[in-house]
Every structure is written in structure tokens, then in C-alpha cells.
């Protein structure tokens, strides 16, 4: 990888175009960007909003390690991973993983590995808000 990865967890909204600027490079022939969005349902149940919490310094550190690993595994020039926290409405961007490379296969593989590994290990949590209540995903209903 040419440069340090761009890794941020932040409460304010962002756009894909903004994140792709962070992976711009004259040697890029390909950029693959994954966007995770708030969708209107979860397991067939209508969703009103999502709320995200993160252990920011730990999650950013883990995302940085994931990005460095990916930079060694795939022939990419640059990588950005940006995750939003707070409450978001349907259609809003939650996360963008963007990889710039000379060739497209590496860009696709890096972006996919980035989002897969972020979801598996970064200490970030999602609360689903429904019409009749809310729930932290994966935690048994408590209290």
C-alpha cells in the first residue's frame, strides 16, 4: 500500500464521493467502494432507525490493523474505512470501505475483506429501533 490507510469513526454524515477522494491516486485504475446503509427492514420486521455505538479508540485501532493486513495481502494503492455512530434514518450511510488499486480484482477483494473483517471484530454495536421497541443486535434481550 502506498500510504497509511484512512480510518475514522465519526458521528457526522459522509458521502461515498468524500471517501473515494481519500483513496485517489494516479496509479489507480480501479476503485471498489462498499456502502452499508440503513435499510427499512430486519428479518422481515420494519425498522424505523438504527443506532450505532463504538469503543472508538479500540475499533479504530482494529480497523487500522485490518487495513494494514489487507494492504499486505492484496495489490492495492490505498484503503479507507469510515464508520458512523449515533442514530441514523433509512437510506443513510453507516459505513464505507473503499479500495483503490491498479487492477479491479484486488480492489474488489480488498473492499470485501475490509467490510467482512470490520463486521467480525471491530467493537461496534447496532441497536435496531422498531415501532414497538428496540434491541441491541446479538445481545439477548435484557432488563
Partner 1 sequence: MAVTVKLFAVYRDLLGCSELEVDLPAQCTVSDAFDQVVGGHASSQLRQITMFAINERYVPAETVVNDGDRIAFIPPVSGG
Instruction: Provide the binding-site residues for a copy of itself, judged by CB under 8 A.
Output: 15-17, 20, 24, 26-41, 90-91, 102, 104, 107-108, 111-112, 115
C-beta of 17 vs 139, nearer to a copy of itself:
17
Asked if 82 interacts with partner 1 (CB under 8 A), we say: no
Report the relative pairing of strands 76-84 and 6-10 from DSSP bridges. Answer: parallel
Neighbours of 132 (CB within 10 A): 7
Question: Residue 133 binds which entry of partner 1, a copy of itself, none, with Cβ cut-offs from 5 to 8 Å by kind?
Answer: none
90, 126, 129, 130: residue in contact with partner 1 (rule CB under 8 A): 126
Q: How far is the CB of 91 from a copy of itself (least distance, A)?
A: 6
Neighbours of 89 (CB within 10 A): 10
3-state DSSP assignment of residue 115: helix
Set of cell numbers at residue 128: 435496531
DSSP H/E element including 134: strand 133-136
Q: How far is the CB of 20 from a copy of itself (least distance, A)?
A: 6
Of the candidates 81, 139, 77, 126, the one whose C-alpha atom is nearest the C-alpha of residue 104 is 77
Question: Residue 49 binds which entry of a copy of itself, partner 1, none, with Cβ cut-offs from 5 to 8 Å by kind?
Answer: none
C-beta of 41 vs 45, nearer to a copy of itself:
41
Asked if 32 interacts with partner 1 (CB under 8 A), we say: no
Backbone angles phi, psi at 54, to 5 degrees: -150, 150
3-state DSSP assignment of residue 65: helix
Contact segment (CB under 8 A) with partner 1 among 18-26, 66-74, 105-113, 125-133 equals 125-133
Amino acid at each position: 500500500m502506498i500510504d497509511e490507510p484512512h480510518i475514522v469513526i465519526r458521528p457526522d454524515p459522509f458521502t461515498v464521493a468524500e471517501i473515494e477522494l481519500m483513496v485517489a491516486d494516479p496509479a489507480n485504475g480501479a476503485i471498489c467502494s462498499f456502502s452499508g446503509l440503513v435499510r427499512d427492514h430486519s428479518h422481515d420486521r420494519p425498522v424505523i432507525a438504527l443506532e450505532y455505538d463504538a469503543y472508538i479508540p479500540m475499533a479504530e485501532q482494529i480497523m487500522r490493523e485490518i487495513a494494514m493486513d489487507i494492504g499486505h495481502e492484496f495489490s492495492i494503492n490505498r484503503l479507507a474505512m469510515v464508520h458512523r455512530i449515533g442514530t441514523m434514518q433509512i437510506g443513510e450511510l453507516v459505513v464505507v470501505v473503499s479500495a483503490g488499486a491498479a487492477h479491479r480484482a484486488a480492489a474488489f477483494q480488498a473492499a470485501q475483506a475490509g467490510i467482512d473483517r470490520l463486521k467480525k471484530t471491530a467493537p461496534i454495536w447496532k441497536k435496531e429501533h422498531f415501532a414497538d421497541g428496540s434491541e441491541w443486535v446479538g445481545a439477548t434481550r435484557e432488563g
